[in-house]
Amino acid sequence: MTSSGAPVVLGVESSCDETGFGIVSDGILLGQGLASSASQHAMFGGVVPEIAARAHLDAVVPTLQIALDDAGVQARDITHVAVTSGPGLATAVHVGLAAAKSIAWALDKPLYGVHHLAGHAAADTLEHGPLPEQSIVLIVSGGHTSILAVGDLVRDPIEHLGDTLDDAAGEAFDKVSRLLGLGYPGGPAISRAAVGGDPAAFAFPRAMLRPRDAPFTFSFSGLKTSVARTVETLERAGEPVPVADIAASFEQAVVDVLVTKALRAVQERGLDTLVIVGGVAANARLRAVAQERCDAAGVELRIPPPRLCTDNGAMIAAVGDLLVRSGAEPSGLSIAADPSAVLHGAQLPLLR
């Protein structure tokens, strides 16, 4: 415990290509360390699980030390450990889980298995304080695009209102970036390329927005295909490919669908707060359009700063901190990795 008696929670994240450790006490981020293997995956155009797992193994000890130094605490000051136990790449999740179990066992501290997506939602609390009693959370990342109805993040069940039928928004960014020769990861690359482009230059489709479509369900594969056909048509005609205009038009199409459906959920539920989290929440156009439309609708918009949008240990520590303060029972050292875990609650149950 700190001098105030508050728990000091270490969070461990390794679900994809970031190795993250964060330390949170009483809702306050004390410090964090983050390592990424993204550059090692760039030549493959996406994350290679075996490479990610080996990179996690190399990064665990130094990244933990960075987090401890950043927080100004010693390992002995840690009172609880929280870890992503799913979902994610199986080999990657196992490395972080093994590290967290080792730390919890060595320090003789309780261990909590946390759902990765609940971590993204909790990241916002480190910047803006506790979530309201009820809110809509839009999660947009490389592997997930979901609209959730959230009450108390760790006490109440989390309700899935809708998910993507195919590519997540982040996957679509990666694939379109590859089509345009912009590299990996695609989100930042598309965003940079779009700066000088015209978002109205190409009328790319906005899927699942017709009246009879599922109101909170997403689909981005058709948009990706439309971009591919546009590029192919231009190249066959021997015309230059206007990369900036295509990037801006694609980005706008994604943003329009995300914001329209998320605001629809807020309004249909009679709520007044929209929280946008996940790696794609760092996108400048998404942040600007969401702010503009939320202001017009009288809805409070909460988005964590970009440094807390991508995968990190701080968000997992934030969930752990909430679980500890709510009196939740620890998961224990027998918690197993669940790479395909469905989000029903912030703490993952033991697999039987």
pLDDT of the residue at 176: 96
pLDDT of the residue at 143: 86
Cβ pair 284, 257 in contact under 8 A = no
pLDDT of the residue at 131: 96
Distance from C-alpha of 148 to C-alpha of 319, rounded to nearest angstrom: 16
Average pLDDT over residues 210-229: 95
Residues 6+ apart with CB under 8 A from 304: 123, 124, 126, 127, 128, 277, 281
Whether 45 has a pLDDT exceeding 90, the answer reads no
Whether 351 has a pLDDT exceeding 80, the answer reads no
Distance from C-alpha of 208 to C-alpha of 275, rounded to nearest angstrom: 21
Average pLDDT over residues 237-264: 97
Whether 43 has a pLDDT exceeding 90, the answer reads no
Whether 2 has a pLDDT exceeding 60, the answer reads no
Residues placed in the known binding site:
116, 120, 139-143, 174, 187, 283, 311
Domains annotated for the chain, with CATH where assigned, are: 8-123+309-326 (3.30.420.40), 133-303 (3.30.420.40)
Whether 1 has a pLDDT exceeding 70, the answer reads no
Radius of gyration of the chain (CA): 20
* pLDDT tens-digit map of 305-314: 999 999 999 9
Cβ pair 319, 154 in contact under 8 A = yes
* pLDDT tens-digit map of 188-205: 999 999 999 999 999 999
pLDDT of the residue at 335: 95
Residues placed in the known binding site for substrate:
139-143, 174, 187, 283
Name the band, by pLDDT with cuts 50, 70 and 90, for residue 4: low
Whether 156 has a pLDDT exceeding 90, the answer reads yes
pLDDT of the residue at 3: 47
Map residue 29 onto helix, strand or coil. strand
pLDDT of the residue at 121: 96
Q: What are the backbone angles phi and psi of residue 135, rounded to the nearest 5°?
A: -155, 165
Nearest CA to 97 out of 107, 106, 86, 109 is that of: 86
- For the chain, what is the mean pLDDT? 95
Q: What percent of the chain clears pLDDT 70, i.e. is strictly above it?
A: 98
pLDDT of the residue at 115: 96
Starting at the edge strand found earlier in the chain, the sheet holding 9-13 runs 28-36, 18-25, 9-13, 80-86, 111-115
More confident residue, 3 or 271: 271
Predicted model pTM: 0.95
Nearest CA to 230 out of 250, 206, 210 is that of: 250
Distance from C-alpha of 23 to C-alpha of 30, rounded to nearest angstrom: 6
Residues placed in the known binding site for Fe cation:
116, 120, 311
Give the amino acid at 73.
V
Nearest CA to 305 out of 271, 345, 264, 277 is that of: 277
Give the amino acid at 261.
K
Q: What percent of the chain clears pLDDT 90, i.e. is strictly above it?
A: 91
pLDDT of the residue at 42: 83
Q: Where are the alpha helices (DSSP H) in the chain?
A: 38-41, 49-71, 90-107, 116-123, 125-128, 169-179, 186-194, 221-236, 243-268, 284-297, 313-326
